[in-house]
Chains A and B, each alone.
Chain A
């Protein structure tokens, strides 16, 4: 077991070396910062459009940040990062080399997947930090809107970001699988964008939305009551928790399918 885990960690380190001089870390950074900047600017210049009297300005601020991230940015970002990471192996003709190394195939396949997931996590951490910071800045720059009269509830904000993270696990495993399966990156990007567009159409229809992992992060953001969350500090997860379980199941199933396919396929 020890040998397995050290090999896994070595392989994970190798994955991190591969990121050097690639745009992937920049994409992660930009992916995390974009939403904070946009929402900050919107609030700074058009604050009257967003804030209602006697209601928590934090709720509105975080709602806009969260919706922008999980509805518009997150899934395209997953599609982009996953394809970019896997494409670098295709471009380097790396599979034939990697699979002729004395390394278990699982320790090639999974560290890369974990690295991809970690990058999603990194983006969300950056998103969390920058949006919190921007919110704090806003409360100082716009004291007249009484941010200080309401709790900022950073704890709730963290849990919301974590929910967001769990919701994209399924789609990450799917995109990872198809990115490895097809050398032509147009295919994973095309399928991904189709899934994304479809999810905009079906997100309101729960009976369809549950079958489309591309839709999960969007679905959750639509089933959150920010007003309630930021007043009470409690998130009512009942309407969407099962979607997160679906996301996790989807992650496990598609990782397994993808790995099995890698294990038995002919490496051309």
Chain B
């Protein structure tokens, strides 16, 4: 995708608080319009740093960062009219109610106070709008942060770990809100360290590790990538012998006392292997596909 059609495009982004220790290394990232882009990485992989760089809060050593096709730092006033952000723990004044916090944001954004009720409705916080936000649950705090991000009716939402610390109900609620917003035509860029979170909602995925982008593509491409290799676990009477038989033809390793893990290119080779084992007198107790879901891939990709 060319940079002009991407909502967010990042090219060769390098950043470090000191130039000797880069946190982000030549990072590329493209967020297509109207997508939900899941930005995955373990804690410390560089997600927040990437997001802060995108928002112009950090000054990168090198690289090109564009939102709506325009370079961010020189055009921040224009771009931020249409961008709402929630970075890690939400930024609100704890001694004030949700309503009063949004009043402050309205003043900064030059919006009428009538907009406050609309966003509170959108994030299901209307009932609690006059309570002091200090007393809110984690989920309500996140939703208040989201309300603040939504106030200007932005085309792009940038959310850093928005579901962090939420209970399952809160996560589902938050996800529903995001899906709804996406249906309204908003592009959503959200980061998480939980793959299970992203795969349920995102159409695009980017996976970062140690400041390097490991994978970027649609969720289908990620799925395909995952299916390209199979892991089989075989429990037998003689794991050592089984491993010898497979030799270098199939990559394998002995696990525990009686089982081996075998990597297969496709499933057609499995019956052949079983037949061979039986012929050589190895008794098979269990043959199973390794649970190789996205979660596992994520571990493979990022650990």
Contact = CB atoms under 8 A, between A and B. Distances in A.
Given A18-B96, A266-B59, A102 B80 contact: yes
Contacts of A88: 93, 95
Contacts of A13: 107
Contacts of B79: 102
Contact of B57 (A17, A18, A104, A267): A267
Interface string B132-149: 100000000000000010
B81 interface: yes
B108 A96 contact: no
A266 B57 contact: yes
B76 interface: yes
B57 A103 contact: no
Contacts of B57: 96, 99-100, 266-267
A104 B108 CA distance: 10
Interface string A79-112: 0000000001001111111111111100000000
A149 interface: no
A198 interface: no
Given A96-B57, A101-B108, A22 B77 contact: no
A115 to B, nearest CB: 13
A86 B133 CA distance: 19
Nearest to A21: B95
25 contacts: A7-B110, A10-B107, A10-B108, A13-B107, A18-B96, A21-B95, A92-B93, A92-B94, A93-B90, A94-B92, A95-B91, A96-B52, A96-B55, A97-B85, A97-B87, A97-B90, A97-B148, A98-B91, A100-B85, A101-B109, A102-B76, A102-B78, A102-B81, A266-B17, A266-B59
Nearest to A102: B80
A38 B152 CA distance: 51
Interface in B100-122: 100, 103-105, 107-110
Interface in A23-38: none
Interface of B: 17, 52, 55-59, 76-81, 83, 85, 87-96, 100, 103-105, 107-110, 132, 148, 152
A264 interface: yes
A11 interface: yes
B107 A266 contact: no
B92 A11 contact: no
Nearest to B107: A14
Interface in A104-159: 104
B87 A11 contact: no
Interface residues of A, number: 30
Contacts of A238: none
Contacts of B110: 6-7, 10
B107 A93 contact: no
Contacts of B104: 14, 17-18
B103 A17 contact: yes
Interface of A: 6-7, 10-11, 13-14, 17-18, 20-22, 88, 91-104, 264, 266-268
A109 B92 CA distance: 17
Given A14-B107, A20-B95, 11 more contacts: A11-B107, A11-B108, A18-B93, A22-B95, A88-B93, A97-B148, A99-B57, A100-B85, A101-B80, A102-B80, A266-B57
A96 B78 CA distance: 17
A196 to B, nearest CB: 28
Contacts of A97: 85, 87, 90-91, 148
B34 to A, nearest CB: 21
Contacts of A102: 76-81, 109, 152
Contacts of A266: 17, 52, 57-59
A94 B91 contact: yes
A90 to B, nearest CB: 11
Contacts of B90: 93, 97
Contacts of A21: 95-96, 132
B51 to A, nearest CB: 10
Contacts of A10: 107-108, 110
B107 A100 contact: no
B81 A93 contact: no
Nearest to A107: B108
Contacts of A95: 91
B96 A20 contact: yes
Nearest to B89: A93
